[in-house]
Amino acid sequence: MRLDPAPVDLTGKTCLVTGANGGIGASTAAHFAALGARVMTTDLSDRFDGECDSDHRGIDLLDNQGLQECCDWIAAETPDVVFNNAAIFDMGSVLDAGLDQFDKLFGLNVRAMYAVMQAAARALVSAGRSGSIINLASQAGHRGEALVAHYCATKAAVISYTQSAALALAPHGIRVNAISPGVVDTPMWDSVDALFARFEGKEIGQKKREVGEAVPLGYMGRPFEIARAAVFLATDQSQYVTAQTISVDGGSVLRF
């Protein structure tokens, strides 16, 4: 049998990472750079805190002007790979999660995600190039949770947009997939833990410990484990994979 291994290499590629100062974003940027990519990063801060060189811009994707700046940048640079990672979390049931929270979560997690994906797709199609767009979903997008109404809905929307975009862009050789992390030990989870402490009357650190112990593999994920999935989707290792949402959650969500 003839083996035809695809290279795990991004040399000569340009990769954009949004939300790059978070644990998952920074790790993914570093993984892309280690494989030879030129890395572009965005986050709220004007400084990139990751462990690799990057062409960085401080951009607020919730601001219309900032979002347009990012889309114009994408149009000018035409990145080969986009890791659409920027997102925010908040809590509230349908009894107390108001429209202000709805607007903020959907504004970044869905509206900005869609605009970045669209800008990347248009740039690649215009240039006649293939590429890979990777959207960050969540295990929360596969099921509702009583105290996480808006956030769950935003991540379900990410999964749906990923599928639609993949089907639309397949004739152009552009693959679109999503990664669905479970609970990942990042600085953001300290804020999530504090919210659960307030809403569920738990001690600080209790929810974080409980969710880690509940994972079938027995621990919270680590940012590099999500970054490795992004590498798979960014490289030719996944050249026949599109319209998929890959769960990287230690076995937490089982789906047919």
Instruction: Please give the model's pTM, rounded to 2 decimal places.
Output: 0.95
For residue 118, the SS3 value is helix
Q: Can you give the pLDDT of all 256 residues of the chain as single tens digits? A: 567 777 799 999 999 999 999 999 999 999 999 999 999 999 999 999 999 999 999 999 999 999 999 999 999 999 999 999 999 999 999 999 999 999 999 999 999 999 999 999 999 999 999 999 999 999 999 999 999 999 999 999 999 999 999 999 999 999 999 999 999 999 888 898 998 889 889 999 999 999 999 999 999 999 999 999 999 999 999 999 999 999 999 999 876 5
Q: Are 6 and 239 in contact (CB under 8 A)?
A: yes
The arrangement of secondary structure in 14-182+222-247, i.e. its CATH architecture, is: 3-Layer(aba) Sandwich (3.40)
Specify whether the backbone of 12 is left (phi greater than 0), alpha (psi in -120 to 50) or beta.
Answer: left
Catalytic center residues:
151
Q: Are 248 and 229 in contact (CB under 8 A)?
A: yes
How far apart, in whole angstroms, are the C-alpha atoms of residue 24 and residue 184? Answer: 9
Please enumerate in sequence order all residues whose Cβ is within 8 A of that of 116, keeping only pairs 6 or more positions apart, or say none.
18, 61, 70, 71, 74, 82, 84
**Residue 5's pLDDT is what?**
74
User: Residue type for 39, please?
Assistant: V
- Domain ranges within the chain, ordered by starting residue: 14-182+222-247, 185-220
